[in-house]
Structure 1
């Protein structure tokens, strides 16, 4: 039985947006420490992500956008993209390793070298629109991974996003691409307030009011996403795995607990078994309370490795 891959790279920790910023290098440290302390009984394989070159971004991000980001990278200190998002000298390098993890995981799962994969990388990506970097995100790694699967010959894929913030970038990129189903659950109204009212057959939006608990989340997601996925019949499923809907997270207002991330991960894995031969690639998005983040990732992985 092919193993679950856990992909990361030390250079993803070199991206830093300044003291006190919630999207910090310590996120990856917290995750890796707890994951490595957990007994996976040989079912989890740790892999160093490769770095991709800029040409790999072309399927999603236009050249002028990539060039503008390159020119913004500072030689030292920080350069602001928006009020929440900054570059340091190592940010684009980290982002290219994050994309590299997503693409390598996709290739390995398609080739049958892994059953599924989780990419513990940063910066995150789901807020990055085709030509706008925002919301801590530079390049939309999950969109690039989905595009990779389609380029490999697949005709339909799905992206499932359970971050507390709506995956506006992913919706913007694929709203007119019927071969890609995008399902996004999110607190509403909430950041970023973009592309959260799109009406398309391939876009399934699940807005949740502030204070919603795990039971509300699970019922809404399972009802809406099951119907959408069975209709779409994806050959591969990608996950934007944000853990900031946890009740302890400082940036969100939903009330999920550790076990809710286990439950939604099992739910997705079961659906992947129906149409996608179990093929899943999951990418870290949000999650900013370090202990809750690390525990929730372990719960997510427990579903993937079984």
Structure 2
């Protein structure tokens, strides 16, 4: 089993200012963690620059240009609540999209079994033409559309275990029967979407909201009873993971109180489905995770599982 790790130094230049939870140190701690001996066999690639076509399959050109033109020459520009741009933001965005594209290409061409893309800013709150919740462009959605457009994937499943609901991913695929979006998340919590009744135009949206302090048992039950069977039945050609680690019990933003072992477990469960349905094809993209120690431990467990370590 071969696993690809995709990142780029420019994602550190997306400066969100002091005391902002979505910060460059998130990727720094992941990269330091992956210097360990157990990750010696991890394949590594620098994320290439923007694939404009991959981006505009999900987001309209007018919106893309709005974001690009809003990038300040110096200082900060607050586009919306919790959406901050700095002079390095556009290059970080550019390579984030490029990183997702190369990960999908390598996995779908069977050059690697699976991939983890550790770039920022994250993406699952970004709607078709709306930035919010630290997110500008939806990387999981870009991955799905790339697999379909460039590699003939008929069905893609996106599984999101971030503590927050991926409203952007849900909105983008609400009326698309070729993409299944499934999410566990704390509810109620930002952004306020993700009720179990939200099922999409073709019943391809699967929400499993969890209460505060849900813990491991409720998380695993929700995945086992509501989400994993739907992913299996959908028979995807690719499984995309929105890998948010802010559901960990140490995270300052959420309160689901998961353990590192829960991320190992769900990664393994999704890999088993991918083995049966998608020739093992999994692309994981970093979403949340704001306690640096918890983030490093969870990302380590996630990628070790992808590697079969």
Q: What's the TM-score once normalised by structure 2's chain length? A: 0.96
In the alignment, the residues of structure 2 paired with residue 246 and residue 133 of structure 1 have an alpha-carbon distance, to the nearest angstrom, of 25
Matches for 1:93-132 after TM superposition, within 5 Å:
93-132=91-130
Corresponding residue to 1:64 among 54, 57, 62: 62
Aligned residues: 304
- 2:194·2:209 contact (CA, 8 Å) conserved in 1? no
Describe how 1:198-213 pairs up with structure 2 within 5 A.
198-200=198-200, 201-213=203-215
**1:139 & 1:287 partners in 2: Cα distance?**
18
What displacement does 1:40 show? 2.9
Asked whether the 8 Å contact 1:172–1:195 carries over to 2, the reply is no
C-alpha displacement of 1:195: 5.5
Native 8 Å contact 2:246 2:289 kept in 1: yes
Secondary structure of the structure 1 residue equivalent to 2:54 = helix
* Alignment partners' CA distance in 2, 1:270 and 1:56: 28
- C-alpha distance after superposition, 1:6-55 (max 9, x if no partner): 1000000000110110100000001111121241352x111111111434
Q: Report if aligned partners of 1:9, 1:48 keep a CA contact under 8 Å in 2.
A: yes
**In the alignment, is residue 229 of structure 1 matched against residue 231 of structure 2?**
yes
* Cα distance, 1:170–1:55 mapped onto 2, change above 3 Å: same
Q: Deviations over 1:153-203 (max 9, x none)?
A: 111110000000001000100010101000011000000113645223111
1:155-174 equivalent positions in 2, closer than 5 A: 155-174=154-173
**Structure 1, 266-275 or 51-60: larger mean CA deviation:** 51-60
Q: Distance in 2 between matches of 1:57 and 1:69?
A: 12
Could you tell me how far apart the structure 2 residues matched to 1:237 and 1:192 are? Answer: 24
User: In structure 2, what is the equivalent of residue 193 of structure 1?
Assistant: 192
* Distance (Å, rounded) in 2 between the aligned partners of 1:236 and 1:54: 22
* Distance in 2, Cα, partners of 1:24 & 1:262: 24
Structure 2 residue aligned with 1:294: 296
CA contact (8 A) 1:8 1:49 kept: yes
Q: Deviations over 1:238-275 (max 9, x none)?
A: 00000000000001011001111111111111111110
Task: Provide closer, same or farther for how the CA distance between residues 55 and 229 of structure 1 changes in structure 2, counting only shifts above 3 A.
Answer: closer
Distance apart, 1:214 and its partner CA: 1.1
Shift of 1:56: 3.0
Deviations 1:99-130 (A, max 9, x none): 11111000000111110000011000000000
| Partner-residue secondary structure (3-state), 1:36 | coil
Q: Distance in 2 between matches of 1:281 and 1:150?
A: 14
TM-score when normalising by structure 1: 0.97
Moved more, 223-232 or 271-280: 223-232
> Could you say which residue in structure 1 is the equivalent of 2:217?
215
Do structure 1's residue 87 and structure 2's residue 85 form an aligned pair? yes
1:251 to 246, 253, 256: 253
Measured in 1, the distance between the counterparts of 2:193 and 2:250 equals 25
